[in-house]
Amino acid sequence: MNVRRLDGARRSAGAGLPAPKRVRVLKKFGLRSVALGYLLVVLLGPLSMVFWRAFGSGAGHLWDSLSDPNTVHAFKVTLIIAAIAVPLNTVFGVVCALAIVRRRFPGAGIVNAIVDLPLALSPVVVGLSLFLLYGRTGWFGHWFQAHGVQILFALPSMVIATVFISLPFVAREVVPTLREIGDEQEQAAHTLGAGAWTTFWRITLPSIRWAIIYGVVLTTARCLGEYGAVAVVSGHVEGQTETATLRVQDAYENFDVAGAYGISLVLAVMSVIVLIAMTLLKPKEETS
């Protein structure tokens, strides 16, 4: 009898808390715990293991692995590819966004969908499609081979693959910004006699500059981390056509675990820098 009374008192005390408040408490702590736990298991856990294993054999061994000539060359190739692909996709992204938003033409919706195609295709499929175009039996392969130009298993094919994979990011950032700001100021500038080029430099570009920068940050991150398409078209030749990501695979397969984790550490640091840049630039974009 006393046990029943005690249980009833506990239920009455719990029922005394307002239902909306209980729901808010559960949402506040439950959802937060789930989100943090998921991030810890999926993201922070593996990254922390990379940092730990990279220094597992000592800082001296890590430096020896990173200063290996093949590793240094792989990072150089990665930076060269990014230095070519990022400006190309920046110019294309801005031009494509202006064409989609500011120009009314038949098939604009199709063009808008095609821009997102690299996000849907597997990078391996992209690499194989480049084989069909630039291989010895490809559509353009005979012409390039006749003129002594090597596309596949060389830097050009790696650049083309990276450009394809990282193509949408600038356009995807600029398009919604252009739609948000409208074209009233541009029309007013045209009415006052400003040309298209002057209007772009003095009105349009300042309005979309943070969207462009944010897109460039995403494009750079994608270029630095690209693996699948580049692995197909590069030939994976050590010291010649290896990028940093390909070098990680090569080092791991040759039992150079410290080297693999060391290169992964550098790539992870680059990613963290990109993440910090994104965090710092996003508020500026929203308040501009």
Tens digit of each residue's pLDDT (9 = 90 or more) over 48-99 = 888 888 887 778 878 888 899 999 999 999 999 999 999 999 999 999 999 9
Q: DSSP assignment, residue 105?
A: -
Domains and CATH numbers, the chain: 2-51 (no CATH), 58-287 (1.10.3720.10)
Q: Which of 11-25, 167-181, 228-242, 269-283 has the lowest mean pLDDT?
A: 11-25
pTM: 0.82
| Contacting residues for 150 by C-beta, under 8 A, at least 6 apart | 144, 156
Tokens 């462009």 map to which residue?
A: 212
Any idea how long the chain is?
288
Give the C-alpha separation, 256 to 134, whole Å: 34
Q: Residue 114 corresponds to which tokens in the numbers above?
A: 């095609």
